[in-house]
Structure 1
Amino acid sequence: MGKKIVLIILFILPLVVYLFFATGVNKFVNLPTLTKNVNEIPSWNSLSNHKVQLQEKITILGFLGDDVLTEKGNLFNLNQKIYNKNKEFTDFQIVMIAPDGTQDDIKGIIAELGSISDLTGWNFVFTSHDSISNFHKSLKLTETLDPAIGTTNVYIIDKDLNLRGRKGKDLKGEEEYKEGYNTISAADLHNNMSDDVKIILAEYRLALKRNNKRKI
Structure 2
Amino acid sequence: MKKNSVLFVLFVLPIVAYLFFASGVNSFITLPTITPTIPEVNPQWKSLNGEKVTLNQKITILGFTGEDIFVNRGNFFNLNQKIYTKYNEFKDFQFVFIAPDGTQEQAKRILKELSPLSNLKGYHFLFAPANEIQAYYNDLKLLGKLDSKMGTPNVFIVDKKRNLRGRKGKSVQGKPEYKEGFNTTSAAELHNDMMDDVKIILAEYRLALKRNNANRQI
* Alignment correspondent of 2:38: 38
* Alignment correspondent of 1:8: none
Give the letter aligned to residue 210 of structure 2. Answer: K
Deviations 1:20-46 (A, max 9, x none): x95895952200001011010111100
User: In structure 2, how many angstroms separate the alpha carbons of the residues matched to 1:47 and 1:24?
Assistant: 35
User: In structure 2, how many angstroms separate the alpha carbons of the residues matched to 1:23 and 1:146?
Assistant: 37
The alpha-carbon distance between structure 1 residues 22 and 38, as it changes in their structure 2 partners (threshold 3 A), is closer
Give the letter aligned to residue 161 of structure 1. Answer: R
* 1:58-137 correspondence runs (5 A): 58-137=59-138
The alpha-carbon distance between structure 1 residues 174 and 24, as it changes in their structure 2 partners (threshold 3 A), is farther
Gaps of 5+ in 1: 1-18
Q: Which protein has greater RCO, CA pairs closer than 8 Å, 6+ apart?
A: 2
TM-score normalised by length of structure 2: 0.87
The alpha-carbon distance between structure 1 residues 118 and 173, as it changes in their structure 2 partners (threshold 3 A), is same
* Alignment correspondent of 2:29: 29
* Count of matched residue pairs: 197
Aligned-pair identity (%): 55
Given that residues 78 and 189 in structure 1 are in contact (C-alpha distance below 8 angstroms), is that contact kept between their aligned partners in structure 2? yes
* Alignment correspondent of 1:11: none
TM-score normalised by length of structure 1: 0.88
* Alignment correspondent of 1:6: none
User: In structure 2, how many angstroms separate the alpha carbons of the residues matched to 1:68 and 1:190?
Assistant: 22
* Alignment correspondent of 1:153: 154
User: In structure 1, how many angstroms separate the alpha carbons of the residues matched to 2:80 and 2:22?
Assistant: 28
Gaps of 5+ in 2: 1-16
User: In structure 2, how many angstroms separate the alpha carbons of the residues matched to 1:170 and 1:33?
Assistant: 15
User: In structure 2, how many angstroms separate the alpha carbons of the residues matched to 1:127 and 1:50?
Assistant: 15
The alpha-carbon distance between structure 1 residues 42 and 178, as it changes in their structure 2 partners (threshold 3 A), is same
Runs of 4+ that moved beyond 4 A: 21-27
